[in-house]
Structures are given as C-alpha cells and as structure tokens.
Chain A
Amino acid sequence: MDVVSSLWRFRGFILSSVKREIQARYRNSLFGFAWMVIQPLAMIVVYTVIFAQLMRSRLPGVDGTFAYSIYLCAGILTWGLFSEIMHRMVVVFVDNANLIKKLNFPRLCLPLIVVLSAGFNFAIILGLFFAFLVISGNFPGWAVLALVPLLLVQVLFAAGLGGMLGVFNVFFRDVGQMFGVLIQFWFWFTPIVYPISVLPEWAAALMQLNPLLPLMEAYQGILVLGRWPDWGRVAPIAAIAVLLCMYSVLLFRKHAGDMVDEL
C-alpha cells in the first residue's frame, strides 16, 4: 500500500514526466505535435493502401476490400503497444541509472511513466485507426468497447513481464540483448501478418502456448468481424498478467537495494 501512496504523492512528477517526454520529442521541430499524428497516419495508410489496393491481399473467409488491412492493423497496432512497453521496460532502470543512483524518490514512478507515455502514443494511433474505420465504413460497432479491458490486460501483461526483465537486466545485461532477439521471433510466432488458419496443425497447436494469442484473436474478431470476444479464453492471460505484475513489484522490492549498488 505504501507503494501506491508514494506513487500518488509523486503523481505530479509522473504526469509532468510523461508530458515532458512527449514534448521533448517534438520540441525543436517546426510542426511539433503534427508529427505525432503524421507518423502513425503514414503507417496506417501504408498498410491499408498497399495491402488492400496494390497487393490486393484478401483474408480467407472474409469479404471486403479492407478486411486484410484491418486484420493487419488490429494486430500490428496492438503489438506496437506491447512491444513499445516491453522494449522500454527492459531498460527502464538501466537508462535511468543516474537518477536512481543519486536521488531518493519512489523508483516505481519510472515504469509508470513508461506505461503512461506508451499508452498516450497508442491512443493517438487508435484514434486515427478508428477514424479510418468510420470513413471507410468498416466501424465494427459496440464491440469496440471490449477493447478497453483487453488492452488493459495487455498493458498489465507487458508491464509485468517487462518490469521483471527490467530488474533482471540490471544484473545481467544479457537479458536486454536476448529480449531484442526473442521479440522478433515472438512477433512472427503471433498471428498478426497471417491468420492462424494458414499454419500446419502442429504449429497452430504450438501457438496455443503464446499468451498473446487470445488477445490477438479477440482484437481481430472485434475489428474485422465486430464480434465480442470469448472472455473465457482471455481469462487465463488476465490472471497471468496480474500475477506477473505482482511478481515484478515483489522482485523489484527485493532487489531495489542491490540495484542501486549495481547500476
């Protein structure tokens, strides 16, 4: 509980850090905030125009010009959130070594800043994507509300796993390197670019072990078909996410003292 209260006391610091991080990126540019929108917009345009219009990729079993594009964006955008949080959590303590070594403040502010600023970036992208869905007449309806709990589970999962790796990375920098390698395999081991149905049976069975699979299927179901997710399939990963977060906080508290000495 004292963790929560100390974070609450530093809420001003956390919020200004997030704000500052966002501002810092565009501070010395002419168009400033516009770049925040232009970049993800370009990404969405690339995926939709190139795949739907030029390559004419089609999603097996679903009609519609944009079905594959929407399928792809549903996966890539949410994967982007996951991967941004993970990448930054792994190095959150190492990168802030200077601050951690020299000041006494609630260090759990740092992961929280990461999560909040990644969340902000994602909100912009998601907003643009929704705009695209509405304009192209593909907005899936009320089922999008299901995205809220799903994204929350995903953020918790990423923060928990990333936080754990972040603590390990302080002591063994191999963790960060290894993570960089593994996450590439993980991306292709998740049905984002291709549907799971194209895989041979053994590979599809193996993929059931991927904790992100239920989330991805749920996102794609919602955004492509407007289908509500199967909560029973999401429940295990939600439980894993909560446990990971709790474990990470415990791990952090156990090694916080050693971490300062090691950094």
Chain B
Amino acid sequence: MGTIKVSGLGKAYRHYGSRWQRLAEWVVPFSRTRHTLKWVLQDISFTLEPGHAVGIIGINGAGKSTLLKLITGTTQPTTGSVSVSGRVAALLELGMGFHPDFTGRQNAYMAGQLIGLRADEIGALMPAIEAFAEIGDYLDMPLRVYSSGMQMRLAFSIATCKRPDVLIVDEALSVGDAYFQHKSFDRIRQFREQGTTLLIVSHDKAAIQSICDRAILLNGGRVALEGDPEAVMDYYNALLADSEHAQVTQQQTADGRIQTISGTGEAGVEEVGLYNAEGERVEVVRVGEMLELRVKVAVHKSIPSLVLGYGIKDRLGQVMYGTNTWHTGQAIANPAAGERYVFALRFPANFGVGSYSIQTALVDRDTHLSSNYEWRDLAAVFNVINVDHCVFAGCLWNEPTISIEKQ
C-alpha cells in the first residue's frame, strides 16, 4: 500500500483555432483533427516506494500542479499511466465542498464524504478533528463567520483526520498562522514516520529538505533533475537565476557531495579559503573562534557592478547566515575585465557542532535574480567542534551566563 508508479506520463491540452473548429471536429464524420496539442507535461516517469517522500519543485508553469492532478486522478493523462495503491489524501485545494451557511461540523461531514469517508467514520473521528483544528466553539457556528485561517485549520484537520497511504501536498502548508503551520507540518511528519508515502510540491526549500529523501525538478513539463534534495534545490536556485546565458554545471566533490556552479561567467571565483586568526587555512574550527573567509574573484568582462554574496549552510542545506556587499554598501562599481579582487570576510564561528558549507555568489545587486555572474554552492566546507565551551545543542552558539539564586 502506498506505491505511486508514474510511467511515460504526458499531458496535452487541445487547442482549437476557434470554437467552430471544435464543432466541425464533433459533427463532421471522419473529419481530420482540427486541434493542435499543447503539451504541459511530457515523459514523466518515477516510482515512489511505500513510506518514501519526494518533493517536486519547479518554477510557476513547470507543470507541478498538473502532475499532482494526474496522480490524484482528477485529470486524465494524454499518454502514459499513473497507478497509485492505497488510500490517497490530497491537500491540493483545502475547503472544497464547504458551504458558508452551514456550521463547521456540518461542513466537516460534507467535506469528509466528498473525500470518500462514510458518515459514521467522520462521526467517530469528529473529536479528533475538533481537537486538532482548535477552533473551539466556532465549530458549531456557520462557516461564513470564520476567518480564513480558521477555515484552513478545519479543512486541514478534515483532510488529514485519517492517516492515508499516500499523502499529496501542494503548498497548502503556507496557509494559516505560524503555530498551525508547525502543527500541520508535524502531522505530515508523523504520517511519514508511520509509513505514509509523501509527495510534496513546494517552493519552500526548508520544507523539502527537511522531510523529503528525494526531489524532482520539473522544468518546461519535463523532469530536469531527480536526486538528493539539496543538490536538486541548488540546481533549481541556479535555474531561477538566469534563463538565457546561464550555464549550470554540477560536479561531485571529493567527499561525494554535489557542487553546483552556475552563472553567465562575467566574473568568477578563483579561490575560496577559510583561515583562522593565525592565518592558517583550516577545515576544522573551534566554536567561537575568529575566522576569515578569503574569496579571490577574477573579472572576465567589464560589468557595471560587482557584489559578492555568501551564505553558510548547515548539513541539511539550510542557510545559517548570509549577506552580501550590496547590503554592506561595498559594491564595486564598473570593474574592468582582467581585474582581480580579494574579499576577506571576518566573523566568529558562532555555530553549533557539525559540518557546514559555504556558498558564494557574484552578482550585480542585492539579489541573484537580475544578473548572476557566478553562483557556487559548496565552495568550501568546514566542521565545527567544541573543545573549550560547555556542551550545547543546536546550530547557534549563544552561550549564556546563568545566575541562580536560592529563595
């Protein structure tokens, strides 16, 4: 239970020049086809084993939602096939079948029946729905007095009141307040631990990286990349940066991780190194130690502006800290071809124990979306160890002084 098998899946919408052509196709016997096919998905194949979690990412219009609709069976594929085993719950459109004039409880029955639950099942699950939604007395008030957040809480609670074999989530998590977002995400995580197969579409890097063991990048209706979530996310980021001239390369580093380098190439990082206070190059650093990140940049073509950005990512690929020389007011104006710059960034290693990586970006202003000369993930890696501070948990070193008074 809980297998998703997608093979050779393709979806095309029929496009007619005019409504008359469609009519001709319907009524003229043996008529030639008068429509052109507009492909939105082509050649998608993947298999998801029970209990696995895969994230689907891609820019708007890449075909993510269509793919989910095909998997839930809402739309029919043009080519290929989808087979899903087990009970499927989809958090695609929360609140379908809600009617504003009825109470939350009545709507819960309706929405539950619409996803295939029986009335007695819903009755039995109602206390759990009530407890999870935490909307109190509102449950027995008409839905039109609900805030959108409360509607979303109720809808989510109904949709997930029974653990499905396959759970399909489309950005639904970004609704609701922070508290409920955490709560709903926890529930998804629990389902996963109990063996639910998970398919998530999200732009939220953190969500995908923390819960998925695989990611699929869709681009232009095809699978552009499939693999480890961090590598796919990096590639996605690179793809976002520029569409025309960008070159994206991925290579495996010595320790087996995948490094992504992308950009238009007007400037490039030649060398990245991390140095300690004594000026020695280090890969293992002590908690709280002063560090210097040296980045040597070569300008290959004259450009209007050069900004160096960097970010320090933890083991899971979450950015711990990042900034750039645009924000610090140190953008270099009109660097000429052939010039070289060395940037030295000094900061204390206020990180928790673990392994970290550094990404660098050469851009023209505050984001990498207008011009991206070079984007380099995993430009350097380092490990933080704790030798001279008290033991602590977490990825931030934020040592307190504690005073205790007995009263």
Chain A residues with CB under 8 Å of chain B are 9-10, 12-13, 16-17, 20, 23-24, 27-28, 98-99, 101-105, 171-172, 256-258, 260-261
B110 within 8 A of A: yes
Please state if A24 and B99 are interface contacts (CB–CB under 8 Å).
yes
| Minimum distance in angstroms from A7 CB to a CB of chain B | 13
Contact A10 B116, beta carbon cutoff 8 Å: yes
The interface on chain B, measured as residues whose beta carbon lies within 8 A of the other chain's beta carbons, has a size of 29
Q: How far is the CA of A208 from the CA of B37 in the complex (A)?
A: 46
Given that A24-B99, A102-B93, A103-B96 are known contacts, is A13 also in contact with B75, CB under 8 Å in the complex? no
Taking the nearest CB of chain A, how far is it from the CB of B94, in angstroms? Answer: 10
Contact (Cβ within 8 A) B76 A103: no
Q: What is the minimal beta-carbon distance from B335 to any residue of chain A, in angstroms?
A: 52
How far, in Å, is B356 (CB) from chain A's closest CB? Answer: 42
B76 engages A260 (CB within 8 Å): yes
CA distance A261 to B13 in the complex (A): 7
State whether A172 and B23 are in contact (beta carbons under 8 Å apart), knowing that A10-B116, A256-B76, A261-B13 are contacts in the complex: yes
Question: In the complex, what residues of B have CB within 8 A of residue A261's CB?
Answer: 13-14, 75
A27 to B103, CA, bound (A): 11
- Is the CB–CB distance between A104 and B74 below 8 Å? yes
Interface centre among B14, B22, B75, B109 (most CB of A within 10 A): B75
Nearest chain B residue, comparing its CB with the CB of A17: B110
CB contacts under 8 Å to A, within B72-108, are 72-76, 90, 92-93, 96-97, 99, 101-102, 106
Given contacts A12-B118, A24-B101, contact A99 B113 (CB under 8 A): no
B240 within 8 A of A: no
- Name which residue of chain B comes closest to A21, CB basis: B99
Q: Any chain A CB within 8 A of the CB of B114?
A: yes
Whether A103 lies near B114 (C-beta < 8 A) is yes
Please give, as numbers and ranges, the residues of chain B lying within 8 Å of A28 by CB-CB distance: 101
Q: Check A103–B75 contact: CB distance below 8 A.
A: no
* B96 pairs with A99, CB closer than 8 A: yes
Is B93 touching A103 in the complex (CB atoms < 8 A)?
yes
Give the complex CA separation of A13 and B119 in angstroms.
9
Top 3 A-B residue pairs of the complex, sorted by shortest distance between their CB atoms: A257-B76, A13-B113, A104-B73
Contact: B116 with A105, CB < 8 Å?
A: yes
B19 at the interface (CB under 8 A from A): yes
The chain B residue sitting closest to A261, CB to CB, is: B13
Q: Specify the chain A residue showing the minimal Cβ separation from B122.
A: A12
Find the B residue at minimum CB distance from A100.
B74
A-B contact pairs, 29 of them (CB 8 A): A10-B116, A13-B110, A13-B113, A16-B119, A17-B110, A20-B106, A24-B101, A27-B101, A27-B102, A28-B101, A98-B96, A99-B114, A102-B69, A102-B92, A103-B96, A103-B114, A103-B115, A104-B72, A104-B73, A104-B74, A105-B116, A171-B22, A172-B19, A172-B22, A172-B23, A256-B76, A257-B76, A260-B75, A261-B13
Interface centre among B90, B96, B102, B114 (most CB of A within 10 A): B114
Which residue on A lies nearest to B66, using beta carbons?
A261
A101 to B72, CA, bound (A): 11
